Amino acid sequence: MNTRIYIVIGIILLNILFPFLAKHIKYFLFKKRRNTFLKLLYSRVYKIGIPLLLLIDINAFFWYFDFENFKSIKFFINLFLLSWLFYEVIKYFIYTAISIKVTQKKRVRRELFHLIINLAKVFIALIVFVSVLSFYGVNITAIITSLGIGGVIIGLAAKDTLSNFFDSIRLISSDAIHVGDWIETRDFEGFVTEIGLTYTQIRTFDNSLIVIPNTKLANDWVRNWSRRLIGRRIKFWVKIKYTLDIDEVNRVINEIRQMLISHPMIVTDRKIETIKNKLHKNNLFILEDKYGVRKTLLVYLDEFDEYSMNILVYAFSITIDWEGWLKVKQDVLLKVLEIIKNSKLELAYPTSVIFHDERKNLWKE
């Protein structure tokens, strides 16, 4: 038997054994099911093996049968499989980086990895385009050199697209918004579902989808409600009727303050001390501003209104989740009502007094 036959037999055996080997590699890597790195490693290696195996098969087929008249078909098939292989290799490195961050319990920025994948797609498409032109004998250098005014025109036409592309990089690199964040701008409010190369998708609270150019998002103010670690504000005034019983007013104010301090879901210095020690490793920044930690707790007689004395209650809930925050706020309000109920004070409300003079013949002619 000649060398060709041995090579063909080897390739056939490789195709037959590939699923078997992949299956046993999977069992080997999945012995520790909690190991995310090994799971992702197997998933990407298996997907890399498919285009690689097809690439070997196609080239062996054309080599064995010596199809000289089908060079263009062979070229396009190889170009497609190489692009597929290159794309899967890039995704392998990206998924490996993600898995390492997950195992180290670090934050994974999905939009950054999506940007790299999208840039890889553009890069691969550009290589394919240049390769096709070169295959048909087009002088790429001459085309680049002769662009001149035409290149300027194309550049001006694509100005907005390029601007959106660079603004998407600016958005991601500035770490201003992440996928999943609740943001608010001048015109809309919702959750970020995707940060693309030229646009960002926002899912609003009425479940509609907004697609906004990255240039507009990058050059307008954006309020990010999700970028806080601890502390969602609870602020209201307790309106009580006017009284000269100052001792009772002070007692109620102190009781409300103690209730907030002892509340398990209200932020205080003691409750965030562990987080402070973990995150505040140096004095180069203020912990509250960098990570979004708020612990202000205020209960004071704030103002004299037209019909009431107003006690300001100002605190932050530990949870930043909307529903969780509503539950904490409701509990605080009910406890304040209970304190007022058990005191000598009364809640105030707008009232008007009408004086009626019953004297007769008040006006005489």
- Rounded mean pLDDT, 210-222: 83
38-76: burial string, b at 16+ Cβ within 10 Å, e else: bbbbbbbebbbbebbebbeebebebeeeeeeeeeeebee
Answer whether residue 127 shows pLDDT above 90.
no
Q: Does the pLDDT of residue 212 top 90, yes or no? A: no
Which tokens go with 74?
């062979």
Q: Tokens 């998933």 correspond to what residue? A: 43
CA pair distance 317, 328, nearest whole angstrom: 7
Residue 343's pLDDT band, with cuts at 50, 70 and 90, is very high
Radius of gyration over alpha carbons of the chain, in Å? 34
pLDDT at 329 over 80: yes
Going by pLDDT thresholds of 50, 70 and 90, the confidence category of residue 296 is: confident
**Sheet containing 298-304: which strands, arranged edge to edge?**
232-240, 309-317, 298-304
Cβ atoms of residues 313 and 235 within 8 Å: yes
Is 278's pLDDT higher than 60? Answer: no
Q: Three-state SS for 214?
A: helix
Q: What is the DSSP string of 314-356?
A: EEEES--SHHHHHHHHHHHHHHHHHHHHTSS--B---------
When pLDDT is cut at 50, 70 and 90, the band that residue 280 belongs to is: low
**pLDDT for position 284:** 44
DSSP 170-192: HHHHTT---TT-EEE-SS-EEEE
How far is Cα 260 from Cα 160, in angstroms, rounded to an integer? Answer: 52
Instruction: Look at residue 134 and tell me whether its pLDDT is greater than 80.
Output: no
pLDDT of residue 319 exceeding 50: yes
- Average pLDDT score over residue span 14-27: 67
Q: Answer yes or no: are the C-beta atoms of 343 and 249 closer than 8 Å.
A: no
| Residue 211 clears pLDDT 90, i.e. is over it | no
Instruction: Label residue 176 exposed, middle or buried (CB < 10 Å: 0-12, 13-18, 19+).
Output: middle
Question: What local confidence, expressed as pLDDT, does residue 322 receive?
Answer: 85
When the pLDDT of each residue in the chain is averaged and rounded to a whole number, the result is: 76
CA separation (Å) from 102 to 44, 88, 108, 152, 291?
16, 20, 7, 45, 20
pLDDT at 136: 72
Nearest to 228 by CA among 184, 274, 287, 276: 287
Cα–Cα distance list, 142 to 22, 133, 149, 348, 355 (Å): 47, 12, 14, 84, 98
Residue 175 above 90 pLDDT? no
317 vs 291, more confident: 317
Least confident residue range of 190-199, 203-212, 256-265, 350-359: 350-359
